Amino acid sequence: MRYIGWLFVIVVLAALGSLLWFATRPPPLVIQGEVSANRIDISARVAGRVSKLNTDVGQMVKKGAVVVELESPQLDAARLAADASVAVARADLERISSTRPETIAARQAELAAAEADVKLYQEVYNRQTHLVTGGNTPQSRVDEATRNLEAAIRKREASEAALRLATEGASPQERALAAAQVKQAEASRAQRETDITELTVQAPIDGQVTTRVAEIGANYGAGAPLLSLIDTGNLWLTFNLREDLLAGLKVGDTFEVSIPALQKEHLQVRVTMINVQGQYATWRATRATGGFDLRTFEVRAVPTTPVDGLRPGMSVVAAWTGRGT
């Protein structure tokens, strides 16, 4: 009986010790984070007035889907002006690259007349030369015939040059300049067409509309936000931890979390990033006690398995047992 009494005393003392240990044991460290996702503000590269809205807050959109349509009478007018400039430049290039048949025919007639004059004055010159050798004409007549023949030859040369110019058209330099002006006008028109294309705003990713600023009939400048999307296909968990809580944590490590909104516990996640925050994110100053300031680090993690219903903004809780103090 005596041994049983001692055994009872030992059991009671052990129970009291265990109770005292559990009562004085500090509670486990719990850290809280949240679910985050990329947010994209959608805007148009050009100014315009909203003519059509194809989505609203809460709706899911696919990449490439038209979400907002704008209109701009100024851009429409600019495109018409660009079309006219291209037409003028092309017409000018065609004009200097060709000559009307009537012009060529006129130059050919002028050359024929000039050749006839050369032939006529050549005969007069020959006759006067023959007569002057017999003394039947004065030397002045020969000199006059010589001048007339030379003038006729120069006129024929000018007519030949005019015919070549009419047949060949403009010079290579003029053609190159006209061709460059056509390209410049076409580039300006292409820019106007690109601007008009930008009036149709498309979703850059698959996602959900979280904010809608655009209103039917309202004017918005270039770059003004119209909608905001979140990338629901790329969610992660983010925690802000003091550096003394990292305790050797590294990218690739796993730990368990709970998501109260989904009533999910023991969800395993994998660390994908550990990044120091700015200098302002200092938890406490310890220099007064001879220590150092503790910096804050952002820890990102992703679930190792897909989680249905996970949404940005949901709270995430993790028991940080065995890490830090």
Q: For the segment 111-136, what is each residue's pLDDT rounded down to a tens digit?
A: 788 888 888 878 877 877 777 676 67
What tokens were used for 257?
Answer: 């979390």
Q: Which residue has the tokens 């486990």?
A: 28
Question: What's the CA gap between 240 and 277, in Å, rounded?
Answer: 9
CB 182 within 8 A of CB 86: yes
The domains of the chain are located at 79-193
Quote the pLDDT of residue 324. Answer: 45
Q: Which residue has the tokens 């905001």?
A: 228
Instruction: Write out the DSSP string of 227-280.
Output: EEEEEEEEEEEEEEEEGGGTTT--TT-EEEEEEGGGTEEEEEEEEEEEEE--TT
Q: 288-301 burial by CB neighbour count: b if 16+ within 10 A, else e?
A: eeeeeebbbbbbbb
Quickly state the pLDDT bin for 325 (edges 50, 70, 90): very low
Among 261, 83, 321, 73, which Cα is nearest to 188's? 83
The per-residue pLDDT of the chain, averaged, comes to 81
Quote the pLDDT of residue 108. Answer: 74
Quote the pLDDT of residue 15. Answer: 61
The percent of residues in the chain predicted with pLDDT above 90, rounded, is 34
The pLDDT of residue 323 is above 70? no
pLDDT tens-digit map of 58-116: 899 999 999 999 999 999 999 999 999 999 998 888 877 666 676 777 777 887 888 88
pLDDT average, residue stretch 176-183 = 89
pLDDT average, residue stretch 193-197 = 93
Quote the pLDDT of residue 127. Answer: 78
Identity of the residue numbered 127 = R
Quote the pLDDT of residue 220. Answer: 92
The pLDDT of residue 268 is above 50? yes
CB 236 within 8 A of CB 301: yes
Identity of the residue numbered 300 = R
The pLDDT of residue 262 is above 80? yes
What does residue 59 show for φ and ψ, rounded to 5 degrees?
Answer: -80, 150
Question: What's the CA gap between 113 and 101, in Å, rounded?
Answer: 18
Alpha-carbon 66 to chain mean position: 17
324 Cβ neighbours under 8 A, 6+ residues apart: 29, 241, 242, 244, 245, 246, 247
The pLDDT of residue 288 is above 70? no
For residues 108 and 199, which has the higher predicted lDDT (pLDDT)? 199
SS3 318: strand
Quote the pLDDT of residue 189. Answer: 93
111 Cβ neighbours under 8 A, 6+ residues apart: 156, 159, 160, 162, 163
47 Cβ neighbours under 8 A, 6+ residues apart: 72, 219, 220, 221, 222
202 Cβ neighbours under 8 A, 6+ residues apart: 64, 65, 66, 67
CB 262 within 8 A of CB 315: no
Question: What's the CA gap between 68 and 209, in Å, rounded?
Answer: 12
Among 13, 29, 32, which Cα is nearest to 21's? 13
163 Cβ neighbours under 8 A, 6+ residues apart: 104, 107, 108, 110, 111
Q: Where are the strands (E) in the chain, listed by range?
A: 30-43, 48-53, 60-61, 66-71, 200-202, 207-212, 219-220, 225-242, 254-259, 264-276, 296-303, 315-319
